[in-house]
Structure 1
Amino acid sequence: MTSRARRRRALQTASALLAFPYNDCLVRLWLQFPYCAITDCVWCFQTLSPATCLGRSAPGPPIDVEGDKPFHNTMLGCSLCQWLKDKRGSPSIVLVVVSGAFLVDCMLFTVVGPIVPAFLYESEFKNRNTSVKFHQSSNSSSDATYDSISNISLFNKSSEVPYQGQIGNRTHPTPPQRNCYTENNYFNDQNTRVGLLLAMKAILQLITNPIVGKIADKVGYDTPLFCGFVVMFISTLMFAFAESYLLLIIARGIQGIGSSFTVVSGMGMVAQVFPDDVERGKAMGISMGSNAFGIVVGPPFGSLMYDYVGKSSPFLVIAAIAALDGALQICFLKPLKFSPVSIPPTPYRKLLVDPYIMIAAVALFLANLTYGMLDTTLPIRMMEHMCAPSYQLGLAFLPCMITFFFSLITLSRITQKLGRWVFIILGTFIEGISTMLMPLAQDIYGLIGPSALLGIGFGFMEITIMPTMALLVDLRHTPNYSGVYAIADIALSLGYAVGK
Structure 2
Amino acid sequence: MTVVNEWVTGTRFGSWVQRCRESRRLVLVIVAIALLLDNMLLTTVVPIIPEFLYDINHPDAPLDGRPRITTTTTTTTTPVPCPCQQFNQNIDNYSTTALNDAEYDNYTTLDPEAAVDELRHKDLVQETVEVGIMFASKAFVQLLANPFVGPLTHKIGYSVPMFAGFLIMFLSTIIFAFGRSYSVLFIARSLQGIGSSCSSVSGMGMLAERYPDDKERGNAMGIALGGLALGVLIGPPFGGVMYEFVGKSAPFLVLSALALGDGLLQLLMLQPAVIRQESDPPSLKQLATDPYIIIAAGAITFANMGIAMLEPSLPIWMMDTMGAGRWKQGVTFLPASISYLIGTNLFGPLGHKMGRWLAALLGLIVIGICLMLIPLATNINHLIIPNAGLGFAIGMVDSSMMPELGYLVDIRHTAVYGSVYAIGDVAFCLGFAIGPAMSGTLVKTIGFEWMLFGIAILNFMYAPLLYCLKSPPTKEEKRSLLNEEKSSVRYVTYQNEEDDE
Matching of residue 224 in structure 1 with residue 175 in structure 2: no
Q: Tell me the residue number matched to 1:310.
A: 247
TM-score w.r.t. length of structure 1: 0.75
Q: CA deviation at 1:185?
A: 2.5
Q: CA deviation at 1:147?
A: 5.0
1:344-363 equivalent positions in 2, closer than 5 A: 344-363=280-299
Q: Tell me the residue number matched to 2:15.
A: 82
Tell me the alpha carbon deviations over residues 160-197 of structure 1, each in whole angstroms, 9 at most, x when there is no partner.
xxxxxxxxxxxxxxxx9xx9795122112201110111
Match of 1:426 among 356, 362, 370: 362
- Separation in 2 of the partners of 1:388 and 1:120? 16
- Opposite residue 6 of structure 2, the aligned amino acid is N
Asked whether the 8 Å contact 2:51–2:63 carries over to 1, the reply is no
Q: CA deviation at 1:89?
A: 3.2
Q: Tell me the residue number matched to 1:338.
A: 274
Match of 1:251 among 188, 194, 201: 188
Q: Unaligned 5+ residue runs, structure 2? A: 67-78, 91-112, 437-501
- Distance change >3 Å, CA 385–CA 339, structure 1 → 2: same
Matching of residue 495 in structure 1 with residue 495 in structure 2: no
Q: CA deviation at 1:25?
A: 8.6
Q: CA deviation at 1:130?
A: 5.0
- Distance change >3 Å, CA 218–CA 185, structure 1 → 2: same
SS where residue 471 of structure 1 aligns?
A: helix
SS where residue 5 of structure 2 aligns?
A: coil
Asked whether the 8 Å contact 1:182–1:384 carries over to 2, the reply is no
Q: CA deviation at 1:24?
A: 4.0
Asked whether the 8 Å contact 2:151–2:284 carries over to 1, the reply is no
- Distance change >3 Å, CA 133–CA 371, structure 1 → 2: closer
1:370-381 equivalent positions in 2, closer than 5 A: 370-381=306-317
- Opposite residue 85 of structure 1, the aligned amino acid is Q
- Distance change >3 Å, CA 328–CA 134, structure 1 → 2: closer
Q: Tell me the residue number matched to 2:412.
A: 476
- Separation in 2 of the partners of 1:198 and 1:423? 29
Q: Tell me the residue number matched to 1:445.
A: 381
Q: CA deviation at 1:134?
A: 6.2
- Separation in 2 of the partners of 1:100 and 1:130? 40
- Separation in 1 of the partners of 2:239 and 2:117? 22
Bigger CA radius of gyration: 1
Match of 2:206 among 243, 246, 269: 269
Match of 1:238 among 156, 164, 175: 175
Task: State the identity as a percent.
Answer: 42
Q: Tell me the residue number matched to 1:194.
A: 131
Q: CA deviation at 1:339?
A: 0.7
Q: Tell me the residue number matched to 1:114.
A: 47
- Separation in 2 of the partners of 1:184 and 1:238? 30
- Separation in 2 of the partners of 1:442 and 1:253? 34
With 480-489 and 406-415 compared, the bigger mean Cα shift is at: 406-415
Tell me the alpha carbon deviations over residues 245-278 of structure 1, each in whole angstroms, 9 at most, x when there is no partner.
1000000000000000000000000000111111
- Distance change >3 Å, CA 382–CA 181, structure 1 → 2: farther
- Separation in 2 of the partners of 1:448 and 1:133? 24
Asked whether the 8 Å contact 1:111–1:298 carries over to 2, the reply is yes
Higher helix share: 2
Asked whether the 8 Å contact 1:103–1:290 carries over to 2, the reply is yes
SS where residue 478 of structure 1 aligns?
A: coil
Q: Tell me the residue number matched to 2:58.
A: 125
Q: Tell me the residue number matched to 1:409.
A: 345
- Distance change >3 Å, CA 133–CA 214, structure 1 → 2: closer
Aligned CA RMSD, in angstroms, stands at: 2.4
Residue correspondences, number:
396
- Opposite residue 251 of structure 1, the aligned amino acid is A
Q: Unaligned 5+ residue runs, structure 1? A: 1-8, 16-20, 27-76, 136-145, 154-175
Asked whether the 8 Å contact 2:55–2:61 carries over to 1, the reply is no
- Separation in 2 of the partners of 1:119 and 1:253? 18
- Separation in 2 of the partners of 1:134 and 1:92? 50
- Separation in 2 of the partners of 1:436 and 1:181? 26
Compare relative contact order (CA 8 Å, sep 6+) and give the higher one, 1 or 2: 2
Asked whether the 8 Å contact 1:134–1:181 carries over to 2, the reply is no
